[in-house]
Structure 1
Amino acid sequence: MGLKIFLTGATGYIGGTALAYLAKSHPGYEFTLLVRSEEKGKPIKAKYPNAKLLYGGLTDSAVVEQAAAEADVVVHTADSSDNAPGAQAIAKGLARGHSAEKPGYWVHVSGTSILTWFDRQEKRFGEGPVPNQKYHDIDDIDRIVTLPDEAHHRDVDKIVQSAISDAVKVAILCPPTIYGKGSGPVNTRSVQIPNMARIGLKNGVVPIVGAGKTEWDHVHIDDLGDLFVRLVDATQDPSLAGNPEVFGLHGYFFAESGSHRWADVAGWIAEEASRQGFVREARTGSVTQSEVELLEGVSTGSYGQNSKSVAQRAGRYLGWRPKGGSLRDEVARAVSEEAAALGLAPKEKA
């Protein structure tokens, strides 16, 4: 009998990729997948006919709790960083269904917007990072697991951390900006860069917040898929499964392969929109944090805030080495795909 995995978010960008990588690496694993409805589950069932589909949402606590109790490993990606009821149900299920002799494992997805708290607190939008805004996931682990309560995602992180026990082993996977085409059967689109491209194409101006000095880190979706496999594999490795630096309060994994300034990304998008003929002249424009948060399609204020993470843990304990293509190369595809989604055609040259 194969490892039993309960995965949420199979129709999503991150979850669909995690499932694709896990299923390819371990076709003998038993997958239970939470999807919202039978209709939404059709493309999942078509690609993974042997998977068990559960229909419902994260607020269906009894369903989520029971699935977590029955699983060997929970991989939680569906609204995982912000949905408290879902995290509470998983924690309860894992505790009920497991013991110190046979612990359950939880790979939980957070996000590095948790590191933007200082800029929001100080209202320093558009400014570059200061030294104490950089967090290394080994060297600065004590700072990371005690971030202020007002930090984005912190409320759910605390629920996950409080579940840690002899019976429940936890790793939090915390990616930054994710780019590249996902491997799932439904949503293959990331968020931050496509949204910025869409704003530029619709409005004719790509936004830059304030002075345009904010920085984030990034990771290719394929490298993230590989990291999911390595974390699940670690649950079956005796040298890692009981290691609190992998599964425990210190099991907090950043996942980055480089960094970028959002002003540079805005410039690349403007250049690509012009080069591909969707605008006559490449343009960026300065906006305030309040203005960017009101723009259609922007779900967070990330463009005006700094998120600086350094991934040490995945390399040291799991041998993870990111190999994905460059962020700059991704911009051309994002612009062309967003233009197609908007029904835009290249303009005739004057």
Structure 2
Amino acid sequence: MTKIFLTGATGYIGGDALYALTSKYPSYSISALVRSPEKAEQVQAQYPSVRVVVGDLDDSALLEKESADADIVLHTADASDHVGAAKAIAAGLARGHSAANPGYWLHTSGTGILMFKDLDQNRFGEYDEKVYDDWENVDELLNLPDHAFHRNVDRLVLETAKREEGVVKTALVCPPTIYGRGRGPVSQRGRQVYQLAKATLQLQKGPIIGPGRSIWNNIHIHDLSDLYVLLVEAAVGGTGTRTGTETDDREIWGERAYYLTENGEHAWGELARATAKTAAELGLIPEAKAEEIGLEEAQKYGGGEAVTWGLNSRGRARRAAKVVGWVPSRPSLEASLVEVVEGEAARLK
């Protein structure tokens, strides 16, 4: 029986991935890391067959044990930036597996790593033509500056793939702006777009940082979960498929296995205007107005996520389509704005 250790079951990404996996493969043995007994009860109520492990990312001994016992680790809980958790998972997988019985590590990072140039130049709201590629130009992604956001933990994953080649097989999944209603037991809400909608309702106008020309990719949460399922299937099957053809295992796992995930992109200024228009059409603000605001005000209403409204993060997700046949198909971000705005209005009430 396939054994999966999943972190972040009560989060937006991990909760939806848990839903997708249990729906398609109810016979898999899934252990889920949960911070508190109260949240453990929420997970068990929706997924009685899931084994709940109460603990947090600072509990290295627990993480190492669970990783050693699992065939696959799906790490989504604050995964991008917790060094200790990454080291514990790497150690556990290496201890519990061998070349004859490899362990698989699906690590969740984020395309915030691509913001470094704007941040280095203290530049907000400006257009940047640079677009990364996870297939032909994957070496660029593998050699980003060490000070880039998420890079410290990304390096740990990539170094594990090299050091434990054949024993620990890694896939580094890098989502951008995520939207869509999650299907998990606790958190069903994303961040960047949702905070933008919340700020729009509070300010009674769409917030724009600088000229509003900075661009990010986006992906629907259900499409992201589809990729996790496909990677799990590749791990269980020992290979990947694309239209029925076997794919080189070295392109699915290991040092080059860096997966951007996206199904389009948005300019933050245009999205702010579209969000204000949607809110006005729903009768939630008096007019479809969007205006420039300062970073301090943006963070007051949108939290730390608001800074990203002024930064660029652009890439093309080609690897997942080529090696595991991933085809995102859910509604676009623009088509989802009514759901997003209505959800934020309900939360504010």
Query: What TM bracket, shorter-length normalisation?
Result: over 0.9
- Name stretches of at least 5 consecutive residues in structure 1 with no aligned partner: 344-350
Q: Which residue of 1 is the match for residue 26 of structure 2? A: 27
CA distance, structure 2, for counterparts of residue 156 and residue 293 of structure 1: 26
TM-score, L = length of structure 2? 0.94
1:267 lines up with 2:273 in the alignment: yes
How far 1:242 sits from its partner (Å)? Answer: 7.2
CA distance, structure 2, for counterparts of residue 242 and residue 215 of structure 1: 33
Cα shift readout 1:84-130 (whole Å, capped 9, x = no counterpart): 11111111111111111111000000011111111111222110013
Q: Which amino acid aligns with 1:236?
A: V
Q: Which residue of 2 is the match for residue 49 of structure 1? A: 48
CA distance, structure 1, for counterparts of residue 306 and residue 92 of structure 2: 31
How far 1:296 sits from its partner (Å)? Answer: 4.2
CA distance, structure 2, for counterparts of residue 300 and residue 212 of structure 1: 13
1:229 lines up with 2:229 in the alignment: yes
SS at structure 2 position matched to 1:94: helix
TM-score, L = length of structure 1? 0.94
Q: Which amino acid aligns with 1:14?
A: I
How far 1:248 sits from its partner (Å)? Answer: 0.3
Pick the aligned partner of 1:338 from 312, 335, 344. Answer: 344
How far 1:205 sits from its partner (Å)? Answer: 2.5
Q: Which residue of 1 is the match for residue 15 of structure 2? A: 16
SS at structure 2 position matched to 1:6: strand
How far 1:238 sits from its partner (Å)? Answer: 3.2
CA distance, structure 2, for counterparts of residue 296 and residue 238 of structure 1: 43
SS at structure 2 position matched to 1:301: helix
Alignment of 1:272-287 (within 5 A): 272-287=278-293
CA contact (8 A) 1:195 1:298 kept: no
Q: Which amino acid aligns with 2:272?
A: A
How far 1:276 sits from its partner (Å)? Answer: 1.2
How far 1:291 sits from its partner (Å)? Answer: 4.2
Alignment of 1:160-175 (within 5 A): 160-164=157-161, 165=164, 166-175=166-175
CA contact (8 A) 1:137 1:254 kept: yes
Q: Which amino acid aligns with 2:307?
A: G
CA distance, structure 1, for counterparts of residue 98 and residue 294 of structure 2: 51
Cα shift readout 1:32-80 (whole Å, capped 9, x = no counterpart): 1000011111121011111111101000111111000100000000000
User: What is the RMSD of the two structures over their aligned residues, measured on CA atoms?
Assistant: 1.4
From the superposition, tell whether residues 203 and 67 of structure 1 become closer, same or farther in structure 2 (CA, over 3 Å).
same
Q: Which residue of 1 is the match for residue 214 of structure 2? A: 214
CA distance, structure 2, for counterparts of residue 107 and residue 206 of structure 1: 36
CA distance, structure 2, for counterparts of residue 242 and residue 33 of structure 1: 31
Q: Which residue of 1 is the match for residue 182 of structure 2? A: 182
Q: Which amino acid aligns with 1:325?
A: P
SS at structure 2 position matched to 1:245: helix
SS at structure 2 position matched to 1:106: strand
Pick the aligned partner of 1:328 from 334, 337, 345. Answer: 334
